Amino acid sequence: MSVRVCHPFGNPNSYNAAAGLLQAGMLKSFHTSLYDPFGSGRRSHPELPQSYVVTHPARELLRLAAATLPLGRWNGRRRQCIDWVTAAFDRATSRAVSPGDRAVYCYEDSAQYTFERAAREGVLRVYELPIMHYREMRRIFDREVGLEPALASFFQTFQEPAWKLERKDREIEDADAIIVPADLVRASIQAHLTPKAIFRTVPYGADVSTVAKVWSSSERTGPLRLFFAGILGPRKGVHTLFAALNGLPKARYHLALAGRWEPGFREWLSRKYTVSYDWLGQLPHAAVYEACRRSHVFVFPSLAEGFGLVILEALASGIPVITTNHTGGVEILETGRDGWIVPAGEVEPLRNAIVAAIEHRDALPEMGRAARRKAESFSWQRYRQTLRRSLEELLPAGKSAIYQ
């Protein structure tokens, strides 16, 4: 059985999908823009050899060069530049599809042309959506902007062109099978579309070979060390976190943030809230694990997520997690045992969870150990096995059986 996995930029779930299929003898090739560029070790995976990787680098190299330019029309970080890369990548992978393929495995914004070619060649079309459907996210964001109109300019979904949103829907409608990391993603699709595809839920994994936090008795006193990692913008609920901390005595907590700021958002927060924090910049994965181990609680108050892979990384680091019912944590965590689940976008429940962690410091070490045990039951190896079984069920059946 031969499957082409296609992701324009590469990420842990796409690498593990390809590596797991390779282990099972099911991978034909992994397509991406760049892989281990110039021997840097970046954008690569140790279990995915170069011989199975097909790169399409031209536009991505130009985009990265443009990312060094001042913010403006030609800066490579702008959404239009990313769309320019993904469109070319999709066309390139579509040309690679052949009748000998059993399936193509594609991701959001880079599947349309590949699926069109696959349909002509009789190749199964598998689509992975790692995040809530954009219409559901827009519904959530509309509510948030209704409460705070100034947030509108920071939500990228409001700024997506109509052609791109139509493309997202078409990719879903053209898929034969849709892989989601959590049931909330499937529910978000089915709330707005009626795709003919079969759904399979395959939760992501964590690197459980990493060392877990060793709790010491000295950590039961002093400020509660909170850590957040992700894009620093309103979709991740950073403003909700600041609102929850606003007014709490600064001696009771220490907040560390890691990630890239949405332009202008940091200044907006500073004008609105008086919250003390340290910004650690953008951290590689290994440094995220280390920052978790230096912390007591990981807080991830996202408004709209698909899974929130960093939740599992925090659990694997051996610390409890505070997150919302709009992340994969709702399907993983047990409140009071290995973390807390709070309603997305609501300040008071988030503040109450933080205060509970402050006031019950003696419980945190055992919660951290329970968090590690939970992460071990969601390893990348488990992800690979679950994905492989899902594809093995789909591939022998073929399209005719799927649509009966």
Q: How far is CA 9 from CA 63, 156, 160, 232, in A?
A: 12, 19, 19, 20
Between CA 377 and CA 143 the distance in angstroms is 35
Whether residue 107 sits in one domain with residue 79: yes
> For residue 329, what are the domain limits?
217-376
| pLDDT tens-digit series, residues 177-216 | 999 999 999 999 999 999 999 999 999 999 999 999 999 9
Whether residue 342 sits in one domain with residue 224: yes
CB 86 within 8 A of CB 8: yes
Whether residue 87 sits in one domain with residue 236: no
Tell whether 335 is covered by a domain.
yes
**DSSP string covering 9-62, please?**
S--HHHHHHHHHHHHTT-EEEEEES-SSGGG---S--TTS-GGGEEE--HHHHH
pLDDT level of residue 270 (50, 70, 90 thresholds): very high
**Beta-carbon neighbour count of residue 99 at 10 Å?**
8
Residue 73 clears pLDDT 90, i.e. is over it: no
Whether residue 221 sits in one domain with residue 149: no
Q: In this structure, what CATH number is given to the domain that contains residue 266?
A: 3.40.50.2000
Between CA 256 and CA 279 the distance in angstroms is 6
- How many domains is the chain partitioned into structurally? 2
Question: Tell me, what DSSP letter sits at residue 70?
Answer: P
Q: Give the DSSP H or E segment for 388.
A: helix 380-402
Tell whether 210 is covered by a domain.
no
Tell whether 211 is covered by a domain.
no
CB 56 within 8 A of CB 93: yes
Please report, to the nearest 10 degrees, the dihedral formed by the alpha carbons of residues 15, 16, 21, 27 taken in order: 0
Q: Is 42 left (phi over 0), alpha (psi -120 to 50) or beta?
A: beta
Amino acid 286: pLDDT: 87
Q: Let me know the angle formed at the C-alpha of 264 by 261 and 268, rounded to the nearest 5 degrees.
A: 105
Tell whether 106 is covered by a domain.
yes
Amino acid 159: pLDDT: 75
Q: Let me know the angle formed at the C-alpha of 223 by 220 and 229, rounded to the nearest 5 degrees.
A: 105
CB 193 within 8 A of CB 178: no
Amino acid 398: pLDDT: 53
Q: How far is CA 159 from CA 80, 194, 239, 296, in A?
A: 11, 25, 20, 37
Averaged pLDDT for residues 148-170: 88
Tell whether 175 is covered by a domain.
yes
Residue 98 clears pLDDT 80, i.e. is over it: yes
Which token pair is 241? Answer: 């976190």
Whether residue 188 sits in one domain with residue 230: no
Question: Tell me, what DSSP letter sits at residue 257?
Answer: E
Averaged pLDDT for residues 121-127: 97
Tell whether 287 is covered by a domain.
yes
Amino acid 399: pLDDT: 53
Whether residue 115 sits in one domain with residue 164: yes
Q: Note the residue count of the chain.
A: 404
Whether residue 222 sits in one domain with residue 140: no
Averaged pLDDT for residues 61-79: 85
Residue 67, CB-side half-sphere exposure with 13 Å CA sphere: 11
Q: Give the DSSP H or E segment for 225.
A: strand 224-229
Averaged pLDDT for residues 397-403: 50
| pLDDT tens-digit series, residues 322-360 | 999 999 999 999 999 999 999 999 999 999 999 999 999
What per-residue string of b and e applies to 365-404 under the rule 16 or more CB within 10 Å gives b?
bebbbbbbebbeebbbebbbbbbbebbeebbebeeeeeee
Between CA 83 and CA 77 the distance in angstroms is 10
Which token pair is 324? Answer: 């919302």
Whether residue 384 sits in one domain with residue 315: no
Whether residue 273 sits in one domain with residue 140: no
Tell whether 212 is covered by a domain.
no
Between CA 140 and CA 162 the distance in angstroms is 19
Whether residue 166 sits in one domain with residue 57: yes
Name the one residue in this structure whose structure tokens are 């579309």.
193
Amino acid 157: pLDDT: 56
Phi then psi dihedrals of residue 14, to 5 deg:
-70, -40
pLDDT level of residue 403 (50, 70, 90 thresholds): very low
Which token pair is 255? Answer: 């907040």
Tell me the average pLDDT of the chain: 93
Amino acid 397: pLDDT: 55
Amino acid 309: pLDDT: 93
For the sheet containing 53-55, what is the strand order? Answer: 53-55, 27-32, 3-6, 103-107, 124-128, 177-180, 198-201
Amino acid 367: pLDDT: 97
* Exposed/middle/buried for residue 217 (C-beta within 10 Å: 0-12, 13-18, 19+): exposed
Q: Which residue has the higher pLDDT, 217 or 323?
A: 323
Whether residue 355 sits in one domain with residue 222: yes
Whether residue 317 sits in one domain with residue 186: no
Amino acid 395: pLDDT: 83
Beta strand 53-55 with 27-32: parallel, antiparallel or unpaired?
A: parallel
Between CA 151 and CA 225 the distance in angstroms is 27
Q: Which residue has the higher pLDDT, 144 or 160?
A: 144
pLDDT level of residue 158 (50, 70, 90 thresholds): low
Q: Which residue has the higher pLDDT, 160 or 130?
A: 130
